[in-house]
Homo-oligomer: A and B are copies of this chain.
Amino acid sequence: MSEPSGLTRLFLKGRLRHALTDREVEVLDSLIERTERVPDGHVVQARAVEATRSTLLLDGFIARVIDDEGARNIVGLQVPGDFVDLHAFALKRLDHDVVTIGPALLGYVSHSKLQDIVRNEPHLTRVLWFSTLLDAAIHREWILKLEQLKAEERLGHIVCELWHRLNFVDLADTHGFNMPLLQTHLANACGTTAVHINRVIKAVRERGLLEINRGRVTLPDRPELERFSRFNPDYLYGKGSLYLGDDFKDS
A residues near B, CB below 8 A?
47-48, 50, 64, 66, 68-69, 71, 73, 75-76, 87, 89-96, 115, 118-119, 122, 125-126, 129-130, 132-133, 135-137, 139-144, 146-148, 188-191, 230, 234-235, 237, 242-245, 247-248, 251
Contacts and interface: CB of A to CB of B under 8 A. Distances in A.
A146 B143 contact: yes
Contact of A140 (B76, B122, B144, B242): B76
A95 B137 contact: yes
Nearest to A67: B144
B144 A143 contact: no
Given A118-B122, A118-B126, A146-B147, 8 more contacts: A48-B234, A71-B148, A76-B140, A90-B130, A93-B245, A95-B141, A133-B136, A143-B146
A233 to B, nearest CB: 11
Contacts of A136: 87, 132-133, 135-136, 139
B244 A144 contact: no
Contacts of A95: 137, 140-141, 234-235, 237, 243
Contacts of A243: 47-48, 91, 93-95
Which of A69, A140, A237, A242 has most chain B Cβ within 10 Å? Answer: A140
A244 B125 CA distance: 23
Contacts of A94: 243
B140 A68 contact: no
B147 A188 contact: yes
Contacts of A144: 66, 68, 73, 75
A78 to B, nearest CB: 13
Nearest to A131: B90
Nearest to A134: B91
Nearest to A66: B144
B90 A140 contact: no
Contacts of A89: 126
Nearest to A51: B247
A137 B130 CA distance: 16
Nearest to A144: B66
A75 B140 contact: yes
A93 B140 CA distance: 15
Contacts of A115: 122, 251
